[in-house]
Amino acid sequence: MQRIQDSFDRQSMMSTLGATLVSAGDGKVVIEAPILETSQQQHGFGHAALTFAIGDSASGYAALSLMDDGMEVLTAEMKINLLAPAAKGPLRAVGQVIKPGRRLMVTQAEVFDGDTLIAILQGTMVPVRAS
Amino acid sequence: MQRIQDSFDRQSMMSTLGATLVSAGDGKVVIEAPILETSQQQHGFGHAALTFAIGDSASGYAALSLMDDGMEVLTAEMKINLLAPAAKGPLRAVGQVIKPGRRLMVTQAEVFDGDTLIAILQGTMVPVRAS
Amino acid sequence: MQRIQDSFDRQSMMSTLGATLVSAGDGKVVIEAPILETSQQQHGFGHAALTFAIGDSASGYAALSLMDDGMEVLTAEMKINLLAPAAKGPLRAVGQVIKPGRRLMVTQAEVFDGDTLIAILQGTMVPVRAS
Amino acid sequence: MQRIQDSFDRQSMMSTLGATLVSAGDGKVVIEAPILETSQQQHGFGHAALTFAIGDSASGYAALSLMDDGMEVLTAEMKINLLAPAAKGPLRAVGQVIKPGRRLMVTQAEVFDGDTLIAILQGTMVPVRAS
């Protein structure tokens, strides 16, 4: 958890979006973010990039939670289906590892706005040795 | 172009990321953004959400450029493959419509960091009547 | 169920792959297929197109199960992550609707080889009026 | 080219679909297939799995064409957007490598029915040592 919190804290984008790491461990990570006035699209809803940001990060840290110390994680690819507008906030992303692996980890994430599922993500993470 | 500029200007997220609309028209849109200190991931590279934000927006506005007045655009789904780190900036996203349609528009986008292609995106946009 | 069985029976590809409709209803569909000698890739495993075929069809029919009579379904887009080889068979695809809608339905599917999860799919289905 | 032809010939699915390898080399591969009576969906169009099969294979062999002898290729993930029905045939898939790499290769493919672009694919290939 501490390793993931440290990495999370070094991401200035997470701070810009007001995101916080709620929990992390054993292949599952939860991240929350409000819909700041600075994170909106043209109709005042949360921007798709906000939803992507926390869904992708929750996925990546879920993968990192299963890796050895001294490893880091890169997103190779991520697909998002947007289901409903991000209307109220806070948004909550729940990422988990579907298939761990030494070379690739496949992840899924759900993003909620209150009780409403607003996005699902399916992606691939790559473990890399920390430099 | 004015309609797209107006919509772009209403997206506070674009301003937060320092993004600007470079050109728009006839199914093709270009958006640029620097790698601000507030847009980074844990190693000081541009965050994947920055790359996604401008790639997705360039795709959406490319679709909007082919729609009648009084229509707006929503991202239904978007897939991004990340090819290289966003190391220097400014980043430049080029979005275009591959298949226009009344119900769905399929788009592709490329994101460059200088001359380096750092991401490709493939997605689906939905035209909706402006409320 | 009968409507879905009738549509399934008209798909010559399903017959070519030896696929059968196991169950259908209320947004969830199960399809099975053996790994025929005619459905293999270069190492004798089931071909990715076999896994895709039953995962995509289970997704589409899950969507159709929630539509009114007189409607049909088209795949707009589908993304598959392959997790493990299709080694033994029969393969079993379980498709379900994550977000129903009048214009678009978002689906997920899992494909199993025995107890092993070998693929996950996430896609978008479009309802169209039957001609 | 011979190495790719040999691998192609070992895929019984390609034979089942009537697919042929048209050209291969330097990160680009072309595969053609007719719309056989045994490859159709419920309205007599070519099945999405046929389009996927040749688009995915063209992508994979495009990646293999850039690998050393003794390597083989696996699809890690593939996303397809379907743009128009496969109405007449023969279908022609053109796959190419967008980003080569030692660990991952990112590919794109287009599938045509005559002059009509009917699908685009974007995916990730993994090099593995032949056993």
Query: Which residues of chain A have a CB within 8 Å of the CB of D77?
Result: 77, 106, 124
Query: Which residues of chain A have a CB within 8 Å of the CB of B42?
Result: 7-8, 10-11, 72
pLDDT-derived band of residue C131, with 50, 70 and 90 as boundaries? confident
Pairwise CB contact (< 8 Å): B76 & C124: yes
Does the CA dihedral C97-C99-C101-C104 come out positive or negative? negative
Q: Quickly list DSSP for D49-98.
A: HHHHHHHHHHHHHHHHTTSPTTEEEEEEEEEEEE-S---S--EEEEEEEE
Strand partners, B28: B25, B96
Distance CA C125, CA B89 (A): 37
Pairwise CB contact (< 8 Å): A49 & B48: no
Q: Tell me what pLDDT residue C77 has.
A: 98
Token pair, residue D19, equals 């697919």
| Domains held by chain B: number | 1
Q: What is the mean pLDDT of residues D101-122?
A: 97
Q: Tell me what pLDDT residue B131 has.
A: 73
Does the CA dihedral A119-A124-A126-A127 come out positive or negative? positive
Distance CA C35, CA C40 (A): 7
The pLDDT tens digits for B23-51 are: 999 999 999 999 999 999 999 999 999 99
Q: Tell me what pLDDT residue A1 has.
A: 81
Pairwise CB contact (< 8 Å): B124 & C79: no
Distance CA B77, CA B56 (A): 10
Q: Which chains touch C (3 or more CB pairs under 8 A)?
A: A, B, D
Q: Tell me what pLDDT residue A72 has.
A: 93
Chain mean pLDDT for chain A: 96
Q: Which residue has the higher pLDDT, A105 or D69?
A: A105
Question: Domain limits at D19?
Answer: 2-129
Distance from the Cα of A110 to chain C's closest Cα (Å) equals 11
Query: Which residues of chain B have a CB within 8 Å of the CB of D79?
Result: 79, 122
Q: Tell me what pLDDT residue D101 has.
A: 95
D131, pLDDT greater than 80: no
Residue among C51, C57, C52 at smallest CA distance from C113: C51
Q: Tell me what pLDDT residue C1 has.
A: 82
Token pair, residue A109, equals 């994430």
Q: What is the mean pLDDT of residues D2-28?
A: 96
Residue among C41, C21, C24 at smallest CA distance from C92: C21
Distance CA D49, CA D20 (A): 16
Distance CA B15, CA D82 (A): 34
Residue among C19, C23, C87, C24 at smallest CA distance from C53: C19
Distance CA D69, CA A102 (A): 23
Q: Tell me what pLDDT residue C130 has.
A: 86
The pLDDT tens digits for C21-45 are: 999 999 999 999 999 999 999 999 9
Distance CA C5, CA C34 (A): 19
Token pair, residue D10, equals 């070992």
Q: Tell me what pLDDT residue C18 has.
A: 98
Q: Which of C40, C72, C75 sits opposite D48 (nearest CB)?
A: C75
Q: What is the mean pLDDT of residues D49-65?
A: 98
Asked whether B69 and B121 are in contact (CB, 8 A), the reply is no
Q: How many CB pairs under 8 A join B and C?
A: 17
Strand partners, B110: B94, B120
Q: Could you say which DSSP state residue D110 is in?
A: E
Q: Tell me what pLDDT residue C40 has.
A: 97
A55, pLDDT greater than 90: yes
Q: Which of B7, B11, B42 sits opposite A11 (nearest CB)?
A: B42
Residues 6 or more apart whose Cβ sits within 8 Å of residue B1 = B23, B24, B25
Token pair, residue B100, equals 């226009």
Classify residue B26 as exposed, middle or buried by CB count within 10 Å of its CB (0-12, 13-18, 19+): exposed
Under DSSP, is residue B15 helix (H, G, I), strand (E, B) or coil? helix
Query: Which residues of chain C have a CB within 8 Å of the CB of A108?
Result: 120
The pLDDT tens digits for D87-104 are: 999 999 999 999 999 999
The pLDDT tens digits for B79-118 are: 999 999 999 999 999 999 999 999 999 999 999 999 999 9
pTM of the model: 0.98
Strand partners, A94: A30, A110
* Cis-peptide, bond into residue A90, ω within 30° of zero: yes
Instruction: Give me the residue label for tokens 């291969």.
Output: D24
Q: Which chains touch B (3 or more CB pairs under 8 A)?
A: A, C, D
Q: What is the mean pLDDT of residues A58-71?
A: 96
Q: What is the CATH number of the domain that holds C65?
A: 3.10.129.10
